[in-house]
Amino acid sequence: MRTAFITNDLTPMANGRLSPGGCAYYRCMLPMNVLRGQDAVFGPPIWTGTTGFGVKINSKEARFGFDVVVLKMMMERWVPEQMRVAKELGQILIVDVDDAYDHLHDANIAKTVTDPTNNKIANRNHYREVIAEADVVTVSTPFLLDYYSTIHPNVVMIRNGVNPDQFGVHRMTGGKPVLGWVGALRWRSNDAETAVPWLGEFLEEHDLMFHHAGHMPDTIPFAEQAGINPDRMILSPMRVLTEYHEMMDFDIGLVLLSDIPFNEAKSTIKGLEYASSGIPFVAQGLPEYRRLAELGVGRVADTPEQWKQHLTDLLDFKTRKREAAINRRLVVEEHSIQARAREWAELFSAFAGHTAPVKTGTIPFSTI
């Protein structure tokens, strides 16, 4: 069975290659890597009326002939019609959704970018049509499963998993720990503001520094949003996903999330990244993080007092070191992409023996 993961969530690099965004990396590239035995391929999309969906291999060639195609963040207005033709050609189409696009917060730049009044070509209205045309919809959390099951008759949940080998284990020291958060604020939902009642005060009380890894000069600084003295800030720039592990340079991780439906739908990726890096963490007590803590990975807090108490506990070097080791072990055993592989394999096994009657092979663009 030939499987393609196709997405537009890709950023051109200086070397001419494409770097996946977070959605493409966790929902396309990593699953593709563990499904290579099933002839799986990942890349940007291409389409023809006689071959259906394919993958661009380079600037001159494309590969076609896929039996199953996973579409990720494909919101363009022409995609629904392309899907109808591809299904007539015999391709099975899976649409993966791992964000609550119908619940985007005003502070999240994605709401503006995907608003039909601002973007006539790629927007949330077209995406609803794309989802409706899917043979199967895959999601990453129970919130999304419940929501999209009211919209589509065939929805499957496969939680996100990380590749622990991607992350080097952070070297802890017995000195004062540095607290930190990784992320780009323009895609957040007033999340940093949730720390205003307690974080700045905590840093002052214990004379600690805070590292924001993912700083972007054209956004309101983390210190201003979270109510922190700028003199206590360490800033490092956002990196592409393939270099993301290099940003995990602090001792205690925070997962700051406002309590809104969009965040209730989010997976625990940030916590799993911290844990893979050997960094103990505290997260806002939203559903998936509460479940993860019950499984032994990370801590959750709902009030300023709970946040401060957990962080006070983690100021102890032995506690941090012990918790980091437990977290990473559990991630490797139960929350890695290797652990999720059987769920992806089970999904695709439903199409075993299916062969789409489309031309296979690598084709020069000049012949398309």
SS (H, E, C) 258-275: CCCHHHHCCCCHHHHHHH
Q: Do 349 and 311 sit in the same domain of this protein? A: no
> pTM of the entire structure?
0.93
Q: Supply the pLDDT for residue 356.
A: 72
> Which value, to the nearest 10 degrees, does the dihedral of the CA atoms of residues 319, 320, 322, 323 take?
110
363 versus 255: the higher-pLDDT residue is 255
Query: Distance between CA atoms of 129 and 77, rounded to whole angstroms?
Result: 9
Crossing angle for the helix pair 124-133 and 79-88, nearest 10 degrees? 10
pLDDT at 366 over 60: no
Predicted local distance difference test score (pLDDT) of residue 367: 55
Which whole number is the average pLDDT over 36-59? 87
CATH number for the domain spanning 129: value is 3.40.50
> What pLDDT score was predicted for residue 359?
65
**Average confidence (pLDDT) over 122-139:** 97
Buried b (16+ CB within 10 A) or exposed e, 214-250: bbeeebebbbebbebeeebbebbebeebeebbebbbb
Q: Are residues 231 and 307 both part of a single domain?
A: yes
d(CA 55, CA 207): 52
Which DSSP string do the residues of 150-198 spell out, in sequence order?
TT-S-EEE----B-GGGSPPP---SSPPPEEEES-GGGSSS-GGGGTTT
Q: Verify that 266 and 277 share a domain, yes or no.
A: yes
Our count of domains for the chain comes to 2
| DSSP assigned state of 148 | H
For the residues 84-92, what does the mean pLDDT come to? 95
Give the DSSP per-residue string, 12-25: E-TTS-EEE-HHHI
Same domain, 150 and 106: yes
Same domain, 120 and 140: yes
pLDDT, residue 183, reads 92
Taking a C-beta distance cutoff of 8 angstroms, is the pair 364, 54 a contact?
no
| pLDDT value of residue 240 | 81
Q: Clarify whether residues 262 and 345 are in a common domain.
A: no
CATH of the domain at 312: 3.40.50.2000
Identify the pLDDT of residue 218: 86
H or E, element range at 244? none
Q: Are residues 279 and 328 in the same domain?
A: yes
The closest alpha carbon to 105, from 192, 28, 9, belongs to 192
**Of the candidates 260, 254, 294, the residue with the CA atom closest to the CA atom of residue 273:** 254
**In Å, how far are 75, 106, 117, 118, 186 from 111, measured between CA atoms?**
13, 6, 11, 10, 11
- Indicate whether 328 and 357 sit together in one domain: no
- Position 40 confidence tier, pLDDT thresholds 50, 70, 90: confident
pLDDT, the chain, mean: 93
Question: What number is the average pLDDT over the span 133-151?
Answer: 97
Residue 175 shares a structural domain with residue 36: no
Res 264 pLDDT > 70? yes
For position 252, what pLDDT does the model report?
Answer: 98
CA neighbours within 13 Å on the CB side: how many for 258? 21
User: What's the confidence (pLDDT) of residue 365?
Assistant: 57
Domain of residue 289: give its range: 164-334
Same domain, 8 and 137: yes
Using one digit for the tens of pLDDT, what is the confidence trace for 311-329?
999 999 999 999 999 999 9
Burial category of 209 from C-beta neighbours within 10 Å (exposed 0-12, middle 13-18, buried 19 and up)? middle
pLDDT above 70 (res 168): yes
pLDDT band at 75 (very low <50, low <70, confident <90, very high): very high
Instruction: Check whether residue 177 and residue 310 sit in a common domain.
Output: yes
